[in-house]
Amino acid sequence: DDDEDEDNDDIVMLERKIRTSSMPEQAHKVCVKEIKRLKKMPQSMPEYALTRNYLELMVELPWNKSTTDRLDIRAARILLDNDHYAMEKLKKRVLEYLAVRQLKNNLKGPILCFVGPPGVGKTSVGRSVAKTLGREFHRIALGGVCDQSDIRGHRRTYVGSMPGRIINGLKTVGVNNPVFLLDEVDKLGKSLQGDPAAALLEVLDPEQNHNFTDHYLNVAFDLSQVLFIATANTTATIPPALLDRMEIIQVPGYTQEEKIEIAHRHLIPKQLEQHGLTPQQIQIPQVTTLDIITRYTREAGVRSLDRKFGAICRAVAVKVAEGQHKEAKLDHSDVAEGEGCREHILEDAKPESISDTPDLALPPEMPILIDFHALKDILGPPMYEMEVSERLSQPGVAIGLAWTPLGGEIMFVEASRMDGEGQLTLTGQLGDVMKESAHLAISWLRSNAKKYHLTNASGSFDLLDNTDIHLHFPAGAVTKDGPSAGVTIVTCLASLFSGRLVRSDVAMTGEITLRGLVLPVGGIKDKVLAAHRAGLKRVIIPQRNEKDLEEIPGNVRQDLSFVTASCLDEVLNAAFDGGFTVNTRPGLLNSKL
Ligand code: ADP
């Protein structure tokens, strides 16, 4: 009976909450009806709990509760600058967006979508936007969502039905004007349960979202005050209808120098704080950071770098805590009274103080220096060594530059030939476009074999005569596609058939045509950064991509030399030491004339 009384009290409370709630009329009506039903229902019915949960959510939702926007563009600029190093383009665009919002005072307009590799600060900028506006922040992960009820909720027909992520998010933040970060819109799935992209469109459409109806709630909720920001790794897989609603802002990867700055201004201080360490206890010089960047990580962003600092902090925390423990112990032995006890402590302390004397001798404020040896102890042997020059020690290898959703990457292209019937074998997870590039490359080389004096193993200009070719694109499980490997394949095969080595410090990108022209390609900035990361010195790009070099940071441009090529002649001349000169033996020249 007591239980029942309590329950009845709860129902009375609920009823009062409904009466005093500021929910819109339609929602209010539904609640009143439902609570009437609830009161007549026996508590043992499954529907009782269902209805009660529903009503509890209804009174809890922030129908009318909001935070007051405070928007001061100058303060916003300072905050964005303090929280984020570099990324000038993104910060500028975000400030413009906020300024327009301030002047126009409404939210209609495109949704910002930050597109770039993982760990470049997309989420973090979203968070800063919320902070500058004084709004609540909530992240909704969309990766792998393939059911529209994830967005729009389940109908209230069975126990365990739930509202969707939007309504859940509103309940969590408790206000109706948060910043919602729709994370990974490029990874939305699709299934028989309806298209989540369509549901999301409804959420984002300013014409519709003032009465967004979640299936579970079954009454409209006004989403027009919510500020949506989306993130993605690539625009290629964002559903077109969604893409149409968004304004894409590209966030490229960082250079080594930028990473070092980010590490020392932001990542290290944050990690120290999270691990309860002070800068007096640990010292990480910049050369160590550079070592971590080049030998322990390979990424466009700073996410693994951040994790490595986490690992270092944990290791140091153990040292520091051990040190404190020892000090405490020694203190204790001084004050300890009673013979037995003292003996015991001394026995305990002896072996330690012998092996660790230097540690004990250190004054407690002496920082632990993380040098290369400490790094090896903590993180293990380096994972990435400069492998470039080793791999280019044979003819038939060239370095291309690829663009992936995770940033730019260098890509080795290998070729070998063997006796056979003129077959071409391709391996390494290639798409169709890439296979076509390989065929184009071979055709061009065959038709120019005489000009460049390229021969098969038995000295014939007919390159495929009695010869099979195998082309391989090693490393990485990602499917590689796109036409931009064309120049690399040509260079690699030219090396194979001429027996000459490709310069080991050259990387290249560019589409080719059957006639030997070099056409422009995308992703130049990310590709150039990857070449720089890998320690290469010369980058060959299509002539018509020259304008893209403006986006490359000055220090990277200084370290690299660029060759712009409009035809394959120029590519080959730049890729081989001393050029890949046209054979000028008179006989051949004559035969051409
Ligand atoms: P993303 O959302 O692009 O995957 P995050 O926003 O999660 O990346 O960033 C990963 C970490 O790196 C965060 O701790 C973030 O603060 C930090 N970070 C990334 N870029 C910068 C930057 N330019 N300045 C300062 N910190 C950064």
CATH of the domain at 402: 3.30.230.10
**pLDDT of 158 strictly over 80:** no
Which segment of 163-167, 321-325, 408-412 scores lowest on mean pLDDT?
321-325
Same domain, 284 and 312: yes
CATH number of residue 264's parent domain: 1.10.8.60
d(C-alpha 401, C-alpha 520), whole Å: 13
d(C-alpha 273, C-alpha 253), whole Å: 26
What pLDDT band is residue 2 in, cutting at 50, 70 and 90?
low
Which segment of 234-248, 318-332, 443-457 scores lowest on mean pLDDT?
318-332
Q: Which residues are catalytic?
A: 484, 527
**Cβ–ligand 1 contact at 266 (below 6 Å):** yes
Count: domains in the chain: 4
- Residue 326's pLDDT is 59
Same domain, 244 and 263: no
Ligand 1 atom closest to Cα of residue 251: 3
Range with top average pLDDT, 190-199, 340-349, 407-416: 407-416
Q: What pLDDT digit, counting tens, does each position of 507-529 carry?
A: 999 999 999 999 999 989 989 99
- Residue 308's pLDDT is 95
* Cβ atoms 14, 31 nearer than 8 A: no
Could you tell me if residue 100 is left (phi over 0), alpha (psi between -120 and 50 degrees) or otherwise beta? alpha
- Residue 263's pLDDT is 96
pTM greater than 0.85: no
Average pLDDT, the chain: 84
* Cβ atoms 283, 369 nearer than 8 A: yes
Which segment of 316-330, 417-431, 475-489 scores lowest on mean pLDDT?
316-330
Same domain, 211 and 293: no
Q: Whose CA is nearest to atom 6 of ligand 1?
A: 121
Same domain, 229 and 309: no
* Cβ atoms 59, 165 nearer than 8 A: no
| Residue of 302, 308, 406 to mutate, ligand 1, most atoms within 8 A of C-beta | 302
Same domain, 270 and 154: no
* Residues 6 or more apart in contact with residue 318 via CB below 8 angstroms: none
Ligand 1 atom closest to Cα of residue 270: 14
What pLDDT band is residue 145 in, cutting at 50, 70 and 90?
confident
Helix axes 46-60, 25-40, angle to 10 degrees: 150
**pLDDT of 587 strictly over 90:** no
Residue-number span of the structural domain to which 412 is assigned: 387-575
* Secondary structure class of 506 (helix, strand, coil): strand
Tokens for 504, please give them: 């080991």
> Of 250, 271, 298, which closes a domain?
250
Q: What is the DSSP letter of 267?
A: I
Q: What pLDDT digit, counting tens, does each position of 565-579 carry?
A: 999 999 999 999 888
Same domain, 82 and 56: no
What pLDDT band is residue 495 in, cutting at 50, 70 and 90?
very high
**Cβ–ligand 1 contact at 416 (below 6 Å):** no
Same domain, 282 and 197: no
Distance, CA 473 to ligand 1 centroid (Å)? 31
Of the chain, the percentage scoring pLDDT greater than 90 comes to 45
Same domain, 308 and 421: no
Is residue 109, in this structure, part of any structural domain at all?
yes
Q: Whose CA is nearest to atom 27 of ligand 1?
A: 121
Tokens for 216, please give them: 């579970």
**pLDDT of 139 strictly over 80:** yes
DSSP of 65-77, one letter per residue? --PPP---HHHHH
Q: What pLDDT digit, counting tens, does each position of 160-171 carry?
A: 788 999 999 999
**Cβ–ligand 1 contact at 87 (below 6 Å):** yes
- Residue 351's pLDDT is 38
> Of 9, 31, 60, which closes a domain?
60
**pLDDT of 531 strictly over 80:** yes
What pLDDT band is residue 585 in, cutting at 50, 70 and 90?
very low
**Cβ–ligand 1 contact at 232 (below 6 Å):** no
Q: What pLDDT digit, counting tens, does each position of 455-480 carry?
A: 888 888 888 888 999 999 876 545 67
Mean pLDDT of 33-41: 90
